[in-house]
Amino acid sequence: MDKPLNYYRVLHVQPDAPDEIIRSSYRTLMTTLRRHPDLGGDHLTATAINEAYAVLSNPAKRAAYDDACQSVVANPVNAASAPEPSALCQFCGAAHGFRGRIHDSATCTTCNTPLAPAEHKRLEPGQRAVNRVQKRLALNYFTNWPGRGPYPGETRDISVHGLRFATHTALPVKKLIKVECEALVALVRIVSCDDHDERDWRWLIRSEYVTVRFRRARGGFLATRA
């Protein structure tokens, strides 16, 4: 049986978002981002968005939904019934068509973001993980899809859990962005954004992988045993 969607993630809002933010996000998804079928969106995505909005825009239904989510958190034995955004890409919100376990090479057909959760990644036999390797690679990142970009950056170090990179622009903590470089493509969550004492780059960003696809298994931070 398919797991229910996480309605807050479907609408790209926080669980404590006020009603006006929920309405605004719904309108943005359906019109500005053209998720409505009449504007070129697909029916599966629009159905999920409408389902989420029908619940979160109704105070009584939203309260019942929140109570159900809290019950799952308080009772891990019921975790199988927890809302999960399995039908939609976490970056662009488009339906990707996968259900259940997503294979490691799966990508969103709309924005080409990897779909496999980072915790599903496993090292192949004969490989070892180096905790963190300093490496400077040209990097591009996207803050929204569709939207302006890509924006330039440069990696500072990479690990199997996340990466640090330098940018010209500050990025808000907890924001999800898509990053691409020679070593990987990933959806990352911003963990910190600090002043960077370099002439060419203003900000140092630390991030953790949400989903990731490594482009190279050797020669980077994944190395073959001697």
Q: What is the pLDDT of residues 130-188, one digit of tens each?
A: 466 888 999 999 998 877 779 999 999 998 889 999 999 999 888 889 999 999 999 99
Architecture of the domain delimited by 7-81: Orthogonal Bundle (1.10)
**Is the model's pLDDT at 45 over the cut of 60?**
yes
Q: Which residues of 128-140 are buried (b: 16+ CB within 10 A; e: fewer)?
A: eeeebbebebebe
Look at strands 151-158 and 162-167 and give their pairing: antiparallel
Q: Which of 5-19, 24-38, 98-112 has the lowest mean pLDDT?
A: 98-112
Q: Which residues contact 24 (CB under 8 A, 6 or more apart)?
A: none
Q: What is the pLDDT of residue 121?
A: 46
Band the pLDDT of 82: cuts 50, 70, 90.
very low
DSSP secondary structure string, the chain? -PPPP-HHHHTT--TT--HHHHHHHHHIIIIIT--SGGGT--HHHHHHHHHHHHHHTSHHHHHHHHHHHHHHHH-GGGGGGS---TTB-TTT--B----SSPPTT-B-TTT--B-SBGGG--PPTTEEE-S-EE---EEEEESSSSSS--EEEEEEEE-SSEEEEEESS---TT-EEEEEESSEEEEEEEEEEEE---SS--EEEEEEEEEEEES-SSSSSEEE--
Q: Which of 13-17, 33-37, 41-45, 83-87 has the lowest mean pLDDT?
A: 83-87
- Decide if 7-81 and 118-224 have a common fold: no
- On whether the pTM is more than 0.75, the answer is no
Write the CA distances from 152 to 84, 96, 109, integer angstroms.
Answer: 32, 27, 23
Interatomic CA distance for residues 202 and 171, integer angstroms: 11
CATH number of 118-224: 2.40.10.220
Pick the more confident residue, 172 or 41.
172
Residue 144 one-letter amino acid? N
Q: What is the pLDDT of residue 71?
A: 61
Band the pLDDT of 48: cuts 50, 70, 90.
confident
Residue 30 main-chain phi, psi, to 5 deg:
-80, -30
Q: What is the pLDDT of residue 1?
A: 36
The domain limits of the chain are: 7-81, 118-224
* Mean pLDDT taken over the chain: 79
Band the pLDDT of 97: cuts 50, 70, 90.
low
Q: What is the pLDDT of residue 126?
A: 53
Q: What is the pLDDT of residues 197-226, one digit of tens each?
A: 777 899 999 999 989 998 865 444 544 333
**Is the model's pLDDT at 102 over the cut of 70?**
yes
